[in-house]
Chains A and B, each alone.
Chain A
Amino acid sequence: MAASPPDTANKRDGTRHALNERLVFVPVDPRLIPLNALLALLREEAGWPSPLRDQGFIRHLIEAFVHSQTGTTKADMVMYRRDPDLVVLAECKSGKNLQEAQARAYQAADADSLRRAGTLPRAFAKDAVVPVVALFVALESHRADVESCMAHLGVRSPLLTVGRERVRLSGTDGVAGLSDFDLVGEYGNPPARIPIDYQSPEDETKELVVPRLMAATARREEYVEVNELCRDLLPEWCILSHSGRREFIRRIEQILRGVCASDLKEYCRFEPQSNQIPSRVVILGTPAALDPRGATQAWQARQRRAAKLLGRTRTPHVEGQLSLDDLAGAGGLATE
């Protein structure tokens, strides 16, 4: 997915920004915001508009191969519509620039490119001619830079930019079936349907690893195998290359070593791969086996320690107020 490296501003220390003097976090993996936004624009999901769905588009595949004359590339998304027929290959970028070779490959793609790769939507199986267009998706805050880059490279394709308060599609002149739009609203972040990919930063990956260890604890499992965990964490695991998988496993092992050496060490132990046994995390006891009241406190203790590990300095906490209902009950007052 979005192959561009994380922007400098999004690296570990840069993921936190002061806003209104409060510590807030950039959501999920910022590199995946354009792809998640594109997915949202194809549906009607809370907080996000659905202009692409309204234009009749249907998502087909993500991470789909395209064999064009300029070589093979992987489209972040293939979507399509009928009447007028149109296939759109979307490239999602979180940075300010396009890679020239990649942009050319997208532009050179046609229906035959997809047919050869087997990624042409089935709806067009019998159609000899199907229009195909490349669509570049970027962050709204980078629109000017991406537009400049496209002009510099001579890339003439529609550009969709997505932001917390504005979603714009431009450059669709002459593309039958795809129309410009410019929407403004309080959209916030798109739903994180794809929360991480195999290149996501450690901090974001850890956000998902820790709950999975807790889920296994709640299921009273004795251990979690790293292979299984990786498969569970990564949407694209099944199409990831062997070397990609090995690299991801290595990164997850590194994260797990850190988790098991943190304040959570009382609850889990990392065991590296041995001759017979793949690498795994052994779960050291579970609150699920305790009396319900004790269990709640034990889960909350894990929550506090995980909060420290995940770098939360501001956690929601609100004092309750005395209930007059309780006061009346304590006094044994009549209720009938």
Chain B
Amino acid sequence: MDRQDLHALLTAAMVGETPPQTLGGRVRPGKVKSRLIEAHPPGHDRDGIADLLSEISEFSGTRVERLGDDLWGLLADRDVVFFDTLNERFWLLHTTATADVLSRFVTKELLGRPQLDSAWLPASQLSELEGERQWMNSSFFADDLVPTNGGQNGARRWRLQVEGFAPQDLLEVVRRELPRYAAATSLTAVGSRVVSPGVGDVQIVADYRGGFVSSGNSFDLVAGVLWRTLDRYETFVRSLENTHQLRTVAVGDLGLEISGEIATIYFPEPVGDLSAFVSGLFSCRAPFRLWAVPREVTSGEWEANAVDLHIGQTLRIEIRRDWMRVLLDAETCGNTLARLVANLQHRYHAQTTLSPVAA
């Protein structure tokens, strides 16, 4: 099976014409769910990918099949998840399994591994999804970082979903007209209609955790959108790494050269209860999954030598009421920073930004 065959098969699924015996009936008619995953396979090559998928298959009780050069299938009893690993670091997964089945598989079998993480799309990345925007979801949940109202104005929890013309405009209106609610106006998911004359007409929904679901009559069209999203995300993550990984390199035996810039995350509103914020951030819980023993170095100033439990890499975080400095180690993945920003946008303030690289 090559990539075109896979796209044809998924197109058939989308239009309800799946050949019944394809892969033992594991490709069912219906919507296609996709995931953008960041992977660190051993060796960062095809052999490493094969080893990692074999390991996943062994632990998940599935069977792994190489379907093409960079195409793999993990076959469970009733479903199959396709792994497109053309980009060795950023993978696209596709399946026609139910959303629950896929979610359980991704959470339990993939994201529990230090080699794999979701893509984490800050608002600037998510709002780049192509097509005519027809749907938008904004969800905000501040319980972890702002556990009590503390006299603060605005929303601590927020769910807003709009289907219609230019739905994101509503968030702009709230920010402008009701600034007390601006913190909650996070961009969680967007949906678009993508039409290409002579090719197809599809609808795609994407969320900030790199999840996608699509329907329509052309998976080729969907795949184009997904690949371009992947390319943008890869550029973003690599630029975070190029800019913010801090290195100290010996120049012969002459001295040390320092490279990399400290990342600063700015809070649009000062943190009211910094102690609670720090407690929530380093609770080891999802989605931040940061381990640390933070210390208050002086009133209103905290620091933490932290561990990203997703991938087992270290980073240092220094926090004051208005901002957070993030000092990535030389090997710490840019996805860690992307995850931090995307989740702060959903749990502290929707307009949290990263400088100097815009996020």
Write the residues of chain A forming the contact surface with B, with a CB cutoff of 8 angstroms.
19-20, 22, 24-28, 39, 43, 45-47, 59-65, 75, 78, 117-119, 164, 188-189, 191-195, 207-208, 210-212, 214-221, 235-236, 238-239, 288, 292, 296, 299-300, 302-303, 306-307, 310, 312, 314-321, 323, 325
Known contacts A64-B254, A238-B250; is A211 also within 8 Å of B305 by CB? yes
Cβ of A218 and Cβ of B254 under 8 Å apart? no
Known contacts A296-B284, A299-B309; is A22 also within 8 Å of B299 by CB? yes
Q: List 21 A-B contacts (CB under 8 A).
A: A27-B297, A43-B261, A46-B262, A46-B324, A47-B325, A63-B256, A78-B255, A118-B254, A188-B298, A210-B305, A214-B291, A220-B312, A235-B256, A236-B248, A238-B250, A299-B284, A303-B292, A315-B293, A317-B275, A318-B148, A323-B143
Residues of B within 8 A of A194 (CB): 248
Q: How far is the CB of B258 from chain A (nearest CB, A)?
A: 6
B338 within 8 A of A: no
Write the residues of chain B forming the contact surface with A, with a CB cutoff of 8 angstroms.
107-108, 112, 114, 143, 147-149, 156-157, 246, 248-258, 261-262, 264, 266, 273, 275-276, 278-280, 282-286, 291-299, 301-303, 305-314, 316, 318, 320, 322-325, 327
Among B107, B143, B293, B325, contact of A307 (Cβ-Cβ < 8 Å) = B293
State A20–B298 Cα separation when bound (angstroms).
Answer: 10
State A216–B273 Cα separation when bound (angstroms).
Answer: 32
Closest to A210 in B: B293
Cβ of A217 and Cβ of B318 under 8 Å apart? no
Residues of A within 8 A of B114 (CB): 218-220, 288
Residues of A within 8 A of B280 (CB): 318
Q: How far is the CB of B291 from chain A (nearest CB, A)?
A: 5
Among A26, A78, A118, contact of B252 (Cβ-Cβ < 8 Å) = A118
Q: How far is the CB of A153 from chain B (nearest CB, A)?
A: 26
Cβ of B327 and Cβ of A306 under 8 Å apart? no
Among A119, A189, A216, contact of B318 (Cβ-Cβ < 8 Å) = A189
Add 11 more A-B contacts to A188-B301, A192-B303 (CB < 8 A).
A46-B322, A46-B324, A78-B255, A193-B327, A211-B291, A214-B291, A219-B311, A221-B312, A238-B248, A296-B284, A321-B148
Known contacts A215-B312, A321-B149; is A47 also within 8 Å of B323 by CB? yes
Residues of B within 8 A of A217 (CB): 312
State A318–B302 Cα separation when bound (angstroms).
Answer: 16
Residues of A within 8 A of B251 (CB): 61
Closest to A298 in B: B284
Among B143, B255, B276, contact of A239 (Cβ-Cβ < 8 Å) = B255
State A47–B318 Cα separation when bound (angstroms).
Answer: 11
Among B257, B264, B283, B307, contact of A218 (Cβ-Cβ < 8 Å) = B307
Cβ of A314 and Cβ of B279 under 8 Å apart? no
Q: How far is the CB of A314 from chain B (nearest CB, A)?
A: 7
Among B275, B318, B320, contact of A316 (Cβ-Cβ < 8 Å) = B275
Closest to B292 in A: A211
Known contacts A192-B303, A211-B307; is A303 also within 8 Å of B293 by CB? yes
Q: How far is the CB of B60 from chain A (nearest CB, A)?
A: 14
State A27–B266 Cα separation when bound (angstroms).
Answer: 22
Among B283, B308, B325, contact of A300 (Cβ-Cβ < 8 Å) = B283
State A63–B251 Cα separation when bound (angstroms).
Answer: 10
Residues of B within 8 A of A65 (CB): 253-255
Cβ of A45 and Cβ of B325 under 8 Å apart? yes
State A254–B318 Cα separation when bound (angstroms).
Answer: 28
Cβ of B294 and Cβ of A316 under 8 Å apart? yes
Cβ of A239 and Cβ of B275 under 8 Å apart? no
Residues of B within 8 A of A220 (CB): 114, 312
Residues of A within 8 A of B291 (CB): 211, 214, 218, 299, 302-303
Closest to A23 in B: B296
Cβ of B255 and Cβ of A63 under 8 Å apart? yes
State A299–B288 Cα separation when bound (angstroms).
Answer: 13
Q: How far is the CB of B159 from chain A (nearest CB, A)?
A: 9
Cβ of A296 and Cβ of B299 under 8 Å apart? no
Among B256, B305, B318, B322, contact of A207 (Cβ-Cβ < 8 Å) = B305
Closest to A297 in B: B284
Cβ of A316 and Cβ of B303 under 8 Å apart? no
Closest to A213 in B: B307
Known contacts A61-B254, A218-B307, A236-B248; is A316 also within 8 Å of B278 by CB? yes
Known contacts A19-B299, A24-B296; is A288 also within 8 Å of B318 by CB? no
Cβ of A195 and Cβ of B293 under 8 Å apart? no
Residues of A within 8 A of B276 (CB): 316, 318
Residues of A within 8 A of B295 (CB): 25, 310, 312
Among A24, A215, A221, A300, contact of B307 (Cβ-Cβ < 8 Å) = A215
Q: How far is the CB of B142 from chain A (nearest CB, A)?
A: 10
Cβ of A312 and Cβ of B254 under 8 Å apart? no
Cβ of A218 and Cβ of B309 under 8 Å apart? yes
Closest to B148 in A: A321
Among A119, A239, A292, A314, contact of B250 (Cβ-Cβ < 8 Å) = A239
